[in-house]
């Protein structure tokens, strides 16, 4: 079942990636965003070609990242809404399943007896798909200046990566196959495959 869970997770990430790529190509980019993206490419090239130091690169990138985040807010909001719909709303209404879980005959269930709640799906996906990071990225750009925004997001992304790794290590190594995201949300992933009878 562990391999099925990994396959389901990868399928779901591909679905979200496709949605993101489509949305970024459908939503028009402002001229200012195009300029920032061009400046970002030039900054990367200057650093790779050793025309600027790491310190200068970081200082310039902090401001560029902030400006890009402010200008791409519509895409970021579409991405967060896509995550919420796909990983929270869809499994809530489709018996605990996303496309990846369905194809691998798995389902998210409440660990204790009872009906799966939407808040449980929200909590598990803050950890496992980066929903928390994405929400912070969209909202903090309006409250922080460029330097602080960049550093706060670096910290949040480091925490997000650690939570994700810890969750997957727990799923792979622990006997009950429950990750941190499942413990915090009181959920589990169960197989819908019939177990063979022992003779």
- By the 10 Å C-beta count (0-12 exposed, 13-18 middle, 19+ buried), 195 is classed as exposed
- What mean pLDDT comes out for the span 67-76? 90
CA–CA dist 122, 185 (Å, integer): 8
DSSP 8-state secondary structure symbol assigned to residue 25: H
What ranges in 49-117 are assigned the alpha helix state H? 54-71, 73-84, 90-93, 99-103
Proportion of the chain above pLDDT 70, given as a percent: 96
DSSP 8-state secondary structure symbol assigned to residue 157: H
If DSSP codes are grouped into helix, strand and coil, which group holds residue 97?
Answer: coil
pLDDT 10s digits, 94-120:
999 999 999 999 999 999 888 999 999
pLDDT 10s digits, 11-62:
999 999 999 899 888 888 889 999 999 999 999 999 999 999 999 999 999 9
């Amino acid at each position: 079942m562990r391999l099925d869970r990994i396959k389901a997770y990868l399928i779901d990430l591909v679905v979200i990636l496709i949605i993101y790529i489509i949305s970024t190509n459908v939503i028009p980019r402002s001229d200012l965003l195009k300029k920032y993206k061009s400046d970002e490419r030039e900054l990367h090239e200057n650093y790779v070609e050793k025309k600027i130091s790491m310190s200068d690169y970081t200082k310039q990138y902090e401001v560029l990242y902030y400006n890009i985040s402010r200008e791409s807010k519509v895409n970021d909001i579409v991405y967060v809404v896509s995550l919420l719909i796909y990983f929270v709303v869809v499994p809530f209404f489709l018996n605990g399943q996303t496309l990846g879980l369905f194809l691998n005959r798995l389902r998210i269930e409440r660990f204790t007896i009872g009906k799966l709640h939407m808040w449980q799906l929200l909590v598990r996906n803050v950890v496992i798909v980066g929903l928390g990071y994405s929400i912070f990225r969209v909202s903090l750009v309006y409250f922080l200046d460029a330097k602080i925004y960049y550093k706060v997001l670096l910290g949040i992304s480091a925490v997000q990566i650690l939570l994700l790794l810890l969750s997957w290590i727990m799923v792979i190594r622990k006997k009950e196959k429950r990750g941190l995201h499942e413990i915090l949300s009181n959920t589990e992933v169960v197989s819908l495959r019939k177990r063979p009878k022992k003779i």
